């Protein structure tokens, strides 16, 4: 497919989800013309649209963390559990798993926590201004980590202590305090932690508003065009296969779980697995909380969205497969009833589950940066469950990198080729 209207400063962004759109927004603000290329004819079904809609400065612990491997092995035995790896002979998967286990250490958490805090914190600050500009409602009342076991509460209290050390405000709450903070829904919990700086919104509303805004700012949109690979050009540059662009244009790969496959076509290794998640949204919930929450033991996120209520969860590593596993979806429904006893199985009976693929790196840190050896190639992906939360800061970093200046944060640890 051929595109037209390019100039030497034009940035070509592959992927029009939240990361690609935020990158386009900040590039346009910096005075760079932009073309966004997306494989979907009718944007609206990707991972940016059906997620839990949370902005989470509280999430400073990477996915690869102590204890997660043991929990994961336990969850694998539960057909309705929150984690699943589809058994298959795949060298990329085996390497990813090996690297994940290697990084699931306290040392890695301690080395990563300030960077994740700063990424999410700066993104939250940017979100406030962007939401106002787009006319999107963002609720700034915090997030509740809800625990229905004493062990779970003890673990979250430990996270709260670490959060307060880092300047992320956290309050350990008993059930009475939980009811005081959010009396809109009956809860069966031992207690929880209130992270006061977290926020939530309707992710689809934000992404659609941002898409309209970047078009208004002058971005060209090319929908229904699939980039099939990269091709090496002279002078250490790359061009796109499947979509024609003039040689030498700055290229940003922001197409989520598919970036790793594109990088392989030029011999670059960037370990990544797609972590499939599901969500169910009740249009007329029988009870509606005022705060977003995470059901800790079940790993289910719950978000009120302008009168609706969304339950989102699971991490299903099964390749780029968007088919729905009904048992995993039922695990989300089971968790909802366990923590919120007023809910019944029939409340979810007619709902069509949404599924999306989160791009997951093996160390739980995103890939953001220029790609060594390719002078016109930048990568922005690998955010796992924090794609929405880190969207604005990632977009700003991309614009700063393309502008040749120093990025607002030290992102050397996010190097796209850090695993060789």
CATH of the domain at 372: 3.50.50.60
Q: Is 320 found in the same domain as 404?
A: no
Q: Is 350 found in the same domain as 234?
A: no
Write out the residue range of the structural domain in which residue 373 sits.
Answer: 11-47+205-268+363-414
In a domain, 391, yes or no: yes
Sign of CA dihedral 59, 366, 206, 203: negative
Entry pTM: 0.95
Which of 352, 365, 372 lies closest to 50, judged by CA? 352
Q: What are phi and psi of 40, to 5 degrees?
A: -85, 140
Q: Is 162 found in the same domain as 99?
A: yes
Domain boundary among 360, 384, 403: 360
Q: Is 392 found in the same domain as 256?
A: yes
Q: Is 322 found in the same domain as 230?
A: no
Residues 6+ apart with CB under 8 A from 252: 11, 12, 13, 14, 20, 23, 378, 379, 380, 398, 402
Tokens of 154: 């003890």
In a domain, 117, yes or no: no
CATH of the domain at 337: 3.30.9.10
In a domain, 36, yes or no: yes
In a domain, 332, yes or no: yes
Written as tens digits, the pLDDT of the chain (420 aa) is 445 455 778 999 999 999 999 999 999 999 999 999 999 876 666 778 899 999 999 999 999 888 888 887 787 788 888 888 888 888 999 999 999 999 999 999 999 999 999 999 999 999 999 999 999 999 999 999 999 999 999 999 999 999 999 999 999 999 999 999 999 999 999 999 999 999 999 999 999 999 999 999 999 999 999 999 999 998 899 999 999 888 889 999 999 999 999 999 999 999 999 999 999 999 999 999 999 999 999 999 999 999 999 999 999 998 888 999 999 999 999 999 999 999 999 999 989 999 999 999 999 999 999 999 999 999 999 999 999 999 999 999 999 999 988 899 999 999 999 998
- β-strand pairing of 83-85 with 143-147: unpaired
Q: Is 98 found in the same domain as 165?
A: yes
* Domains held by the chain: number: 2
In a domain, 5, yes or no: no
In a domain, 324, yes or no: yes
Q: Is 255 found in the same domain as 218?
A: yes
């Amino acid at each position: 497919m051929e595109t037209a209207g390019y100039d030497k400063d034009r940035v070509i962004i592959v992927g029009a989800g939240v990361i690609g759109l935020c990158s386009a927004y900040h590039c346009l603000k910096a005075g760079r013309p932009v073309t966004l290329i997306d494989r979907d004819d009718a944007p609206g079904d990707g991972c940016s649209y059906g997620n839990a809609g949370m902005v989470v400065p509280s999430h400073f612990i990477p996915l690869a963390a102590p204890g997660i491997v043991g929990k994961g092995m336990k969850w694998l035995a539960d057909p309705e559990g929150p984690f699943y790896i589809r058994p298959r002979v795949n060298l990329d998967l085996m390497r990813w798993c090996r690297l994940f286990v290697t990084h699931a250490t306290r040392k890695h958490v301690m080395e990563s926590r300030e960077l994740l805090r700063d990424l999410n914190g700066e993104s939250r600050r940017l979100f406030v201004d962007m939401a106002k500009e787009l006319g999107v409602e963002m609720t700034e009342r915090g997030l509740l980590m809800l625990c229905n076991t004493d062990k779970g509460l003890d673990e979250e209290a430990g996270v709260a202590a670490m959060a307060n050390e880092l300047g992320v405000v956290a309050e350990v709450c008993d059930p009475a305090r939980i009811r005081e903070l959010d009396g809109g829904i009956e809860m069966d919990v031992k207690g929880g932690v209130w992270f006061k700086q977290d926020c939530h919104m309707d992710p689809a509303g934000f992404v659609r508003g941002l898409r309209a805004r970047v078009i208004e700012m002058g971005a060209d949109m090319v929908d229904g065009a699939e980039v099939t690979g990269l091709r090496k050009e002279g002078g250490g540059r790359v061009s796109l296969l499947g979509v024609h662009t003039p040689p030498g244009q700055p290229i940003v790969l922001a197409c989520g779980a598919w970036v790793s496959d594109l990088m392989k076509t030029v011999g670059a290794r960037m370990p990544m697995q797609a972590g499939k998640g599901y969500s169910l949204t009740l249009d007329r919930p029988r009870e509606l909380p005022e705060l977003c929450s995470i059901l800790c033991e079940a790993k289910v996120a719950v978000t009120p969205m302008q009168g609706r209520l969304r339950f989102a969860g699971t991490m299903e590593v099964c390749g780029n497969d968007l088919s729905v596993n009904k048992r995993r979806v039922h695990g989300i429904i089971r968790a909802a009833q366990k923590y919120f006893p007023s809910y019944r199985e029939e409340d979810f009976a007619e709902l069509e589950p949404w599924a999306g693929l989160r791009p997951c790196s093996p160390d739980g840190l995103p890939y953001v940066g220029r790609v060594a050896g390719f002078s016109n190639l930048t990568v922005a992906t690998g955010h796992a469950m924090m794609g929405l939360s880190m969207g604005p800061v990632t977009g700003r970093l991309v614009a700063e990198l393309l502008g040749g200046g120093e990025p607002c944060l030290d992102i050397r640890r996010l190097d796209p080729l850090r695993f060789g």
